[in-house]
A = this chain, B = another copy of it.
Amino acid sequence: MKEQFRQHIEQTSPISEETFDYIFTFFKAKKIRKNSIIIDNGDLVSHEFWVSKGCLKASYILEDGKEKIIRFAVEDWWVSDYDAYFKNKPATLTIESLEDCEVLVLSFNDREKLCKEIPEMSYFFRKKIEGAYAAFQKRLVSMLSNDARQHYEIFTQQYPMLIGRLPKSIIASYLGITRETLSRISNTPL
């Protein structure tokens, strides 16, 4: 996991072995069983998670109990309720594992400390959040366009590794469409 994480961090800047060893001390490895809730609506959120293995979903539960999936996180992605994490507020999202997962956990205070001490980490996290913001803008545009086929295309670009890996019902829920519509636009049987 350590080598995978190093490659991930070095996507933005090369880092010496000594510095990386120091960076790695800020993270705590954790195994998560399938169907575990790691952040629940109402929790104070002081941690974010980097996914080494597995898949999680971040959802919003409506008052009538219906679930709306905001996003997924798979290998090399980061996940948290960022509205809560960045602003030290209770979570509005619920984050749950869809598979057995292995993650690295980082606290908000350690994230800030890392960024202050190591310019490469400040750059890394700035680039990561810029990418996440751009992806969110794309998802918003896709939702507003209200075109199921376009939603699906953007989904396949963003999460090609999830096609065939997740139950169709979960993909349909993310897209806000029925399984029948998903089957029609993806040209695959239910």
A145 to B62, CA, bound (A): 6
Extra inter-chain contacts (4) besides given A62-B144, A126-B129, A139-B140, CB under 8 Å: A82-B137, A83-B138, A86-B133, A136-B140
- Residues of chain B contacted by A145 (CB below 8 angstroms): 60, 62, 68
Q: How many copies does the complex hold?
A: 2
Which single residue of chain B is at the shortest CB-CB distance from A69?
Answer: B144
**Using a CB–CB distance below 8 Å, which chain A residues touch chain B?**
60, 62, 68, 70, 81-83, 86-87, 92-93, 115, 119, 122-123, 125-126, 129-141, 143-145, 176
A2 to B83, CA, bound (A): 31
Cβ-defined contact, B144 with A83, below 8 A: no
Query: Among B60, B130, B132, which residue has its beta carbon within 8 angstroms of that of A141?
Result: B60
Beyond A139-B140, A144-B70, A145-B62, whether A83 also contacts B115 by CB under 8 A is: no
A20 to B139, CA, bound (A): 36
- Residues of chain B contacted by A140 (CB below 8 angstroms): 70, 136, 139-140, 143
Report 29 cross-chain contacts, Cβ distance below 8 Å, ordered by A residue: A60-B141, A60-B144, A62-B144, A68-B141, A68-B145, A70-B137, A70-B140, A81-B137, A82-B134, A82-B137, A83-B135, A83-B138, A86-B131, A86-B133, A86-B134, A92-B141, A115-B123, A115-B126, A122-B123, A126-B126, A126-B129, A129-B129, A132-B133, A133-B133, A136-B136, A136-B137, A139-B140, A143-B144, A144-B176
